[in-house]
A and B are shown apart, each in its own frame.
Chain A
């Protein structure tokens, strides 16, 4: 049973464009929603995170939009750069204990 569903599986964006990755969850007890970036051969690195009492959080070019009623959240990468090419995972947890990860989105930014 996949606790967090992520789409799309892969994404190709032109340099300077906007990358959008979506996630949906079922468990309303989740209280922490992070996004991780993973490069080949490396472990996931925390990119940005949000709590369900906030509808949007922005850090630099990265923005999380959160829709509590729809149980959905998304990552927007503005002005996408070739260096952003990586696999992105959404996740959800309760009190940051056990993380449930999505299946990942492979992002390719074309120069």
Chain B
């Protein structure tokens, strides 16, 4: 049973809308990373938060933003949704950036 939970599990949005995805990390995990996994592809790194500060960012535009909260939860926000944003969004948490990561089961986002 994974200690990382994501909500919602599935979501359908219209192009141009905004979406917020949520992740609850294991207690004590100060690090959370978000990944985008397109169908049939490997996960792509979006960004990482460590102790509530952004700690690295992949090749994603600024309309992808995030927040990490003191209670080990985090959010991924995507503005101005595009059809290509349709994917499985995964969060992964860790005690520290250099430790092992546990992935959640993801949120399947469909943009129509």
Contacts and interface: CB of A to CB of B under 8 A. Distances in A.
Q: Give the interface residue-count category, chain A.
A: 20 to 34
A98 B48 contact: yes
B61 interface: no
Contacts of B41: 103-104
A103 B42 contact: yes
Contact of A43 (B2, B42, B99): B2
Interface stretch (A12-20, A50-58, A68-76, A89-97): A89-97
B101 interface: yes
Interface string A34-62: 00100001111110010000000000000
Chain B interface SS verdict (over half): loop
B98 A102 contact: no
Contacts of B99: 96
Of listed A4, A36, A49, residue having the most chain B CB within 10 A: A36
B44 interface: yes
A42 B44 CA distance: 16
A101 B98 contact: no
A30 interface: no
Interface in B39-64: 40-45, 48, 55-56, 58
Contact of B106 (A43, A49, A96, A97): A43
Interface of B: 2, 4, 33, 35, 40-45, 48, 55-56, 58, 90, 92, 94, 97-106
